[in-house]
Amino acid sequence: KCRTGPLDIVFVIDSSRSVRPFEFETMRRFMMDIISNLDVGPNATRVGVIQYSSQVQNIFSLKTFFTRADMERAINSIIPLAQGTMTGLAIQYAMNVAFTTQEGARPLHKRIPRIAIIVTDGRPQDRVTEVATQARNAGIEIYAVGIQRADMNSLRAMASPPLEEHVFLVESFELIQQFAKQFQDKLCGVDMCVEREHGCQHSCVSTPGSFYCECNPGYRLNVDGKTCSPIDACADGRHGCQHHCVSVRGSYSCRCRAGYYLSQNKRSCTMIDYCSFGNHSCQHECVSIPNGHYCRCRSGFTLQPDSKSCRATDLCNGVDHGCEFKCVSTEGSYHCVCPEGQQLQADGKTCSKCGAGHVDLVMVIDGSKSVRPQNFELVKQFVNRIVDLLEVSPHGTRVGLVQYSSRVRTEFPLNKYHSADEIKKAVMDVEYMEKGTMTGLALKHMVEHSFSEQEGARPLSHNIPRIGLVFTDGRSQDDISEWARRAKESGIVMFAVGVGKAVEEELRAIASEPVEQHFSYSADFTTMTHLVENFSLNICPEEGKGETEIRSPCECEALVQFQTNTVAILQSLTEKNILWAHSLAQMTARLEDLEKQIANKK
């Protein structure tokens, strides 16, 4: 058997009228003798047969049969065409049809030899030189076998070089069976993988007169054609791993970041619930974060220095006050207040939103290593407190978020979400970046991308205020002056918020004029929520800006609204005075009881 490796062989048989029936039988025998010595199969040698005269007929293609018995039955059933001798047409068919991957030929990159064996007994009636050249250039190795009356010049024009190895002339049909053995040896040749020092790292595949290297499954052949490298199964991006993909010898496995565990589907990751371990000792609430947890107090309580216990700070912390913005405790009572620029509604609890005008607000938050995971969660809460002040809608206020460290990442652009709830959920899903503090790079990104119309900023001609809010906890590792200046020159109103080790000089450089109204500082993350109040008035635009309708304060509806709000405020004050009076009467009665008890003891 021929064991030099897989081949794609197509027999191109002349069945013109000059080939008599008994002569055609010897051609059948010639094909079957060669096939009988081939290692045929889908992954070994594949064989196809076409016959031609004035036309071309496909007997079976390279993908039709994979056993010798099936091939022999098909060859024995061939009925000669018995017409002209259009050899050039047959070569054209072999090149354009028989040796295509659709008909079963292996792809060229697999380097499996494509061999055409042309058997003819006469002179072609069409041109063969040009089409044979095209076939050879397409990677087909042509053997030309002439019998009896064949034209030697035509055979030489068809065959591949060297001609002495690819051109054969047999004197008669009777001798073709003896020639089959000689041709078989020529076709198979020697095992080049054995005869030569091939240098293949994994395996060597011998071909007629040559060889090539192959790699084991899970590896690919390097450009040197000999050594192999593992296939990166993660590179195509179709692995579906939520966090990390790890390539292993042509396959892959998914891994999760620290603080997460791999789910049952082996792709998604679930955050470890450290609070469920039961050893957190939090007095009120335990909040799990990647790599740990932190304690959180219920509304109205303050976390103590031990980071576990909570203490009520005032009366607002001990009752369900329902204030939308802020509850202010007074002696024996409390009342709700709203940010500057907003009015307390008639219910005494809710505040008017920034609905009088529209803004495009982009918040740029520091995700550097110095912030730390637990503080980053507080930063996200700070962002959502600001979102609570806004009337978010596609035609109202739009909000975008950018995080930066050593690089910059748009968490979501201005046109991504159209409601406050969507934005707040997206904020809580933001993942902490860590690493450096490139504030200047973040400002550049904000100016060039975040406030572009492609990312949802309204055109400048609409007169919609553009507001940038930069949050940082330390000194920038790059220069901020140029892009802070460019931001303000482009019409962006800049706010700067600093926490901890933030540098006041940099905050002032970022902030718009007047600087004192556009920058704020907090000593630590746990006390920074009060900064929200400092921004409410400036973030909410003045009524009448942008596309908002300008209304006269003297219109009937405006007067009625003013009257309603005034009555509500007076009623609230009256109720509080009654409550104070009642509290005072209780305290007086209590003092009288104490005096009587003291007198009785005497």
Does residue 472 register a pLDDT over 60?
Answer: yes
Does residue 15 register a pLDDT over 90?
Answer: yes
What mean pLDDT is reported for the chain?
Answer: 83
Phi, psi of 360 (to 5 degrees): -105, 110
Distance (Å) of CA 223 to CA 139, 194, 213, 226, 229: 20, 23, 11, 8, 10
What is the per-residue pLDDT for 584?
60
What is the per-residue pLDDT for 211?
81
pLDDT digits (tens, 9 = 90+) for 301-351: 888 989 998 878 677 766 778 888 888 877 557 888 887 656 677 788 887
What is the per-residue pLDDT for 553?
43
Does residue 389 register a pLDDT over 90?
Answer: no
- Res. 8 pLDDT band, cuts 50 70 90: very high
Mean predicted confidence (pLDDT) in 194-199: 79
pLDDT digits (tens, 9 = 90+) for 50-67: 999 999 999 999 999 999
What's 406's DSSP letter? Answer: S
What is the per-residue pLDDT for 525?
74
- Res. 83 pLDDT band, cuts 50 70 90: very high
- Res. 589 pLDDT band, cuts 50 70 90: low
Owner of token pair 């609204």: 561
What is the per-residue pLDDT for 576?
54
What is the per-residue pLDDT for 549?
39
Does residue 218 register a pLDDT over 90?
Answer: no
Which uninterrupted H or E stretch holds 24? Answer: helix 21-36
pLDDT digits (tens, 9 = 90+) for 396-436: 899 999 999 999 999 999 999 999 999 999 999 999 998 89
- Res. 554 pLDDT band, cuts 50 70 90: very low
% of residues, the chain, pLDDT over 90: 40
Does residue 481 register a pLDDT over 70?
Answer: yes
pLDDT digits (tens, 9 = 90+) for 104-155: 999 998 888 899 999 998 889 999 999 999 999 999 999 998 887 888 999 9
Mean predicted confidence (pLDDT) in 505-519: 89
Yes or no: say if 325 and 336 are a contact pair by the CB < 8 Å rule.
yes
Q: What are 593's two structure tokens? A: 């009881």
- Res. 72 pLDDT band, cuts 50 70 90: very high
pLDDT digits (tens, 9 = 90+) for 520-552: 888 777 766 666 666 665 565 444 344 433 344
Strand 46-52 vs strand 140-147: parallel, antiparallel, or unpaired? Answer: unpaired
What is the per-residue pLDDT for 558?
47
What is the per-residue pLDDT for 95?
96
Mean predicted confidence (pLDDT) in 86-107: 96
Yes or no: say if 145 and 171 are a contact pair by the CB < 8 Å rule.
no
Question: Of 255 and 344, which is predicted with more confidence?
Answer: 255
Question: Of 196 and 392, which is predicted with more confidence?
Answer: 392
Does residue 199 register a pLDDT over 80?
Answer: yes
What is the per-residue pLDDT for 543?
42
The lowest-confidence range among 85-99, 246-260, 439-453, 467-481 is 246-260
What is the per-residue pLDDT for 462?
85
Phi, psi of 153 (to 5 degrees): -60, -40
Q: Can you spell out the DSSP letters for 122-153? A: S--SS--HHHHHHHHHTTEEEEEEEETT--HH
Q: Can you spell out the DSSP letters for 417-428? A: --SHHHHHHHHH
Q: What are 445's two structure tokens? A: 């990104």
What is the per-residue pLDDT for 323?
87
What is the per-residue pLDDT for 470?
93
Instruction: Please count the residues of the chain.
Output: 602
Cα separation, 335 vs 235, whole angstroms: 60
Does residue 559 register a pLDDT over 60?
Answer: no
- What structural domains does the chain harbor? 7-188 (3.40.50.410), 314-354 (2.10.25.10), 360-539 (3.40.50.410)
Yes or no: say if 469 and 362 are a contact pair by the CB < 8 Å rule.
yes
| Sequence-distant contacts of 160-166: CB under 8 A, at least 24 apart | 160/136, 166/141, 166/142
Q: Strands (DSSP E) along 226-300, which ranges?
A: 228-230, 244-248, 251-255, 260-262, 269-271, 285-289, 292-296
Yes or no: say if 495 and 512 are a contact pair by the CB < 8 Å rule.
yes
Cα separation, 582 vs 584, whole angstroms: 5
Which uninterrupted H or E stretch holds 509? Answer: helix 504-510
Sign of CA pseudo-dihedral 382, 383, 384, 388: positive
Yes or no: say if 142 and 163 are a contact pair by the CB < 8 Å rule.
no
